[in-house]
Structures are given as structure tokens and as C-alpha cells.
Amino acid sequence: MSWLWAIIVGLVLGLIAKAILPGKQQIPLWLTAVFGILGSVLGNWAATGLGVNDTKGIDWIRHLLQLIGAVVVVGVGEMAWVALRGKKSRA
């Protein structure tokens, strides 16, 4: 069940990250979910490093770090996706 939640949270975080980033991202929905999951893992890692991964109540700082991680991963991943797709279409 945790994998299902990871996919759902990753998709939601990826979609929010796409909405935050300026312009239109050209990555497919499945890749948005993958990048969202990776961003969430990156945010959890940062929260653990800062010691804010488990607090009383809602972990707002951890969730914010997950969103920041998703924005970074979606932004970088989208640039890589466009670069790879551009090279394939020219060949």
C-alpha cells in the first residue's frame, strides 16, 4: 500500500510542480509522477538531514521540502527530456 501512496503523492507533487514552473512542460504524465516521487524522496532526505522529518502534528516543513524537491526534479527532468527528444527527432 505504501507504493500506491508514493505514486499518488508523487503524481500530486509533480502536477503542483508543473503548475509552479513557468511555461508549458512537455513531459508526459507518467514521467511527471516519476519526477514527483523522486522529488518527494529528495525532500524527505533533506528533511531528515535537517532533523524535521518527524514532528508533532502535520510535518509542514517536510512537505514544503518535498514540494521544493519536486519542483527542482521536474524542472531539471523536463530540460533533459526536451534535450533527449530533440536529438531523437533530428536523427
Using the 8-state DSSP alphabet, how is residue 37 labeled?
H
pLDDT at 87: 67
Please answer whether residues 43 and 35 qualify as being in contact, where contact means their C-beta atoms are separated by less than 8 angstroms.
no
Query: What φ, ψ does residue 55 adopt, rounded to 5°?
Result: -120, 170
The pTM of this model reads 0.84
The grid coordinates of residue 25 equal: 512542460
Tens digit of each residue's pLDDT (9 = 90 or more) over 49-87: 998 877 788 888 888 999 999 999 999 999 999 999 876
Tens digit of each residue's pLDDT (9 = 90 or more) over 1-56: 577 887 888 899 999 999 999 988 889 999 999 999 999 899 888 988 998 877 78
| Environment class of 28 (CB within 10 Å of its CB; exposed 0-12, middle 13-18, buried 19+) | exposed
Comparing CA positions, the residue from 65, 67, 29 lying closest to residue 49 is 65
The grid coordinates of residue 71 equal: 519542483
pLDDT at 90: 52
